[in-house]
Amino acid sequence: MTTSILVSIDAGVQTITLNRPDKLNSFNPGMHVQLRAALDEAAGNAAIRCVLLTGSGRGFCAGQDLSEREMKETDTPRDLGATIEEYYNPLVKFMQALPKPIVCAVNGVAAGAGANIALACDIVLAAKSASFLQAFAKIGLVPDSGGTYFLPRLAGTARAMALAMLAEKLPAADAERMGLIWKAVDDDKLMMEATAMCKHLATQPTRALGLMKQAIYAAGDNTLAGQLDLERDLQRKAGGSPDYREGVSAFLEKRKPTFTGQ
């Protein structure tokens, strides 16, 4: 059986590769289910301390598989809200709530929901030849999978609006310049850099990294006072962790800390 998702685990890093290259790794229900199962494993397995998401072949992900959306004029329109509710929204929510870092290595075009799922990752690296495309306007849809949330927050309303309405390919270097992603890197360095970053993250205080996600993602919706309260509460949790104890001991003993992720 061909699998839509390839999964491997090494040195605390779970690598998830979207694997429908003939369709630019676009989503069908099987790929959704397999991706979710891999992320469930990341959540439940303490040995996984970082997730790396990438795509096989020349694309990262072209969003929804449109070959499953062909319609005759007489067909009753499909309820797209139902697929969003069943698959895309739970995926984005789960990724953001996962208390471990998710790094995305965008190896080629990221279009439609594929672009926004990349933006939902915590740190995004992209090959210089990769691009981001809010393809929705081309087919009469609106950005989903968090696009209308992430784009204005990351790049500002003016850019979000033009990216959504014009549906032009945004090269990776421009995405970096606009602050949509962390870094555009040479194509032949992408996987090396992404893997090295993930291996490093997998040695870091995982619990604290998870709490950082919680704080930073809450910031967009909080007042300063609310955010300060949240930071106090999260610092209380981090301060009770074995990794905090280890970090302070290592500093005082002038040695490298060995974090367990607890």
In 3D, which of 256, 254, 155 has the Cα closest to residue 205?
256
114 membership: H or E segment, kind and range: helix 113-119
Please identify, using beta-carbon distances, which residue of 93 and 138 lies nearer to ligand T3D: 138
Per CB under 6 A, the segment of 5-13, 20-28, 200-208, 252-260 that binds ligand T3D is: 20-28
Which residue's CB atom is positioned nearest to ligand T3D? 63
**Residue 18 corresponds to which amino acid?**
L
State in angstroms the smallest separation of the CB of 5 from ligand T3D.
17
CA distance 123 to 54: 12
**Does the footprint of ligand T3D cover residue 196 (CB under 6 A)?**
no
The CA angle 152-138-27, to the nearest 5 degrees, is 80
- The residue written with tokens 């289910």 in the block is 33
Q: Is 176 in the site for ligand T3D (CB under 6 A)?
A: no
Nearer to ligand T3D, 124 or 208 (CB): 124
Contact 61/26 with Cβ under 8 angstroms? yes
**Two structure tokens written together for 30:** 């099987």
Q: Is residue 149 a contact point for ligand T3D (CB under 6 A)?
A: no
Give yes or no for residue 167 binding ligand T3D (CB under 6 A).
no
User: What gap in Å lies between CA 2 and CA 44, rounded to an integer?
Assistant: 25
Whose CA is closest to 65, among 24, 16, 95, 108? 24
Selected range binding ligand T3D among 32-40, 64-72, 147-155, 253-261, rule: CB under 6 A: 64-72
Between residues 11 and 139, which has the closer beta carbon with respect to ligand T3D?
A: 139
Residues near ligand T3D (CB under 6 A), total? 24
Residue 247, token pair as written in the block? 């970090």
**If you count them, how many residues does the chain have?**
262
Q: Does 23 bind ligand T3D (CB under 6 A)?
A: yes
Residues 123-142: x where in contact with ligand T3D by CB under 6 A, - otherwise, as a string? ----------x-xx-xx-x-
The binding site for ligand T3D (CB under 6 A) comprises 23-24, 26, 62-67, 69, 80, 83-84, 109, 111-113, 133, 135-136, 138-139, 141, 144
